[in-house]
Amino acid sequence: MAEEEEDLPVEREEIEQIEPPSQQEDGEKEEPRPTTSPLPETGSSDQTNSPTNDSLTLHSELESVELSTTISPSTPLPLGATNGSAEKKRQNLLLNNNKSPAKTKFSFFKRKSSGAASSGALPPTSTTGLILEGRPKGLPAKTPAEEKKHQKLYQEMIQATKKKELQHASDTHKMEQKRHTKEDQIAVAQKKWAEILPKFDSLRNRKEVKELWWAGLPPGVRGLVWKKAIGNDLNISPDLYMIFWKRFQERLDLAQQRGRSDSVASVTSISRESSVDVIHLDLQRTFPTLGFFQEGSPLCQVLHNVLGAYACYRPDVGYVQGMSFLAAVIILNMENEADAFIALANLLNRASYLAFFKVDQDQMKPYFTVFSLLLAESLPKVSAHFNQLGFHPQFYLIEWIFTIYTRNLPLDVACRVWDLFCRDGDFFLYRTALGILNMYQHQLLQFTSIEDVGHFLGHLPSTLDSDQLFSSISSIPLTEKKFSQLLTQNKTK
């Protein structure tokens, strides 16, 4: 600070020494300028004390300083300066020339630097200690009571902030530990599945294999296990897939030649698929946040091919909106298009899925009836609340079953549901539905309208944890045998 305070007289002296002499009229004798102050004396006949003249004087002097800062070491010494003092001032000016123009020009108005700034201290790493003044200087000072109260509030704020930071650090550490544990479990499970897959048919019903399956399939073997579990009862070969893929391409070419209006008529006359356009539109709606199947991505064309080939393969079913989610999940886990097509065709060939995708109300009704009975038995409060609101199972079950939860659950959780669906069959989808309602029954009982319940079940929390969900599912005592018996009884009515 002492050094900065001494800058002012040095700079003023520099101005006096460097400023060039003013131009005098011919014959006038040059009067020496006072060395004590660059400002005019009071009562001078040449200059007045008005702010305008003072500003002009300062401006002129500042220009002189700026001009002088550009001199080189070979510049002649200023008039009236000794060699030693002039050399020292020149060196100072050369050093000052490295400063910013603003600092050089307005060096008269330098303010004393604080101790923190002059010491070169680093900026604070936390904002919890940045209360510089208790109250702005223009306002009355705080009373002792106010000061005490505000200090207490400040300390409480600091403690709350520290507590929040510690909690965040603790949560982050727990998440990291959980992630590492999960990765280790996946690595161990993958090795076990590598031993199981060659003997899958003989080992799949063993207790230890079922327990391993319940924990979720490792991503590295998921597609292989799904392929074996779904099977190929339809005996579809890759060559057959190519035949229907080519047929779909022919229809696309025909649609382009005839135009959109003719293509709809020609396609619907052969099958129940809505149109080629419907498939294309649904591609953009399939996992839009992931971007896997958006236009221009490699998997977009694969999904288009599989769905189009299936619509040609099963013209009685055709393409139904929502089918794209099923095909997309299969594609994400299968090795190639042909395997994805074979798995999709065999999956949709199951009785329950044919009923839903054919939109056969007579065949769909028994499933809704059975689910209502199971809901009343497993979750009586939720069942009574839904009945009071007039909220029927088909309001939420149709979308859940159509997409096997891929549209409503986080993708990793939905894939784990698929794992068990491949292991246990259709009934697990209804057990999952009961598990979801059980998991959120407290929230569901708070809703007072159909709209609120429907919106919640259609947009389940993205933070839903798979372990919590499967813990809830395991608490539902539903077996495949019981489900089949109830379904048979209601189909005969």
Three-state SS for 45?
A: coil
- Helices 450-458 & 380-389, crossing angle to 10 degrees? 120
How far apart CA 350 and CA 347 sit, in angstroms, is: 6
The two three-digit tokens of residue 7, written as one number: 């800058």
The pLDDT assigned to 91 comes to 54
Kindly report the backbone phi and psi dihedral angles of residue 318, in degrees, each rounded to the nearest multiple of 5, phi listed first. 70, -155
Element at 364 (helix H, strand E): helix 361-378
Of 417, 419, 409, 418, the closest CA to residue 464 belongs to: 409
User: Mean pLDDT of residues grouped by 10 in the chain (493 residues)?
Assistant: 45 46 46 45 43 45 44 44 51 50 41 45 53 68 86 90 90 84 85 93 92 93 95 95 93 75 43 58 80 83 93 88 91 93 94 82 90 95 95 92 92 95 93 96 94 94 92 92 90 71
Angle at the Cα of 12 from the Cα atoms of 7 and 15, rounded to 5 degrees: 125
How far apart CA 386 and CA 368 sit, in angstroms, is: 14
DSSP state of 207: H
How many C-beta atoms surround the C-beta of residue 158 within 10 A?
A: 13
Locus of tokens 């419907």: 278
Of 55, 58, 29, 34, the closest CA to residue 44 belongs to: 34
The pLDDT assigned to 136 comes to 72
The pLDDT assigned to 157 comes to 92
The pLDDT assigned to 178 comes to 81
The pLDDT assigned to 277 comes to 59
Please tell me the pTM assigned to this model: 0.65
Element at 38 (helix H, strand E): none
The pLDDT assigned to 283 comes to 82
Determine contact, residues 247/310, Cβ cutoff 8 Å.
no
How far apart CA 226 and CA 422 sit, in angstroms, is: 6
Locus of tokens 């659950």: 409
Locus of tokens 């074996």: 228
Determine contact, residues 201/316, Cβ cutoff 8 Å.
no
Locus of tokens 């070979």: 74
How far apart CA 131 and CA 478 sit, in angstroms, is: 62
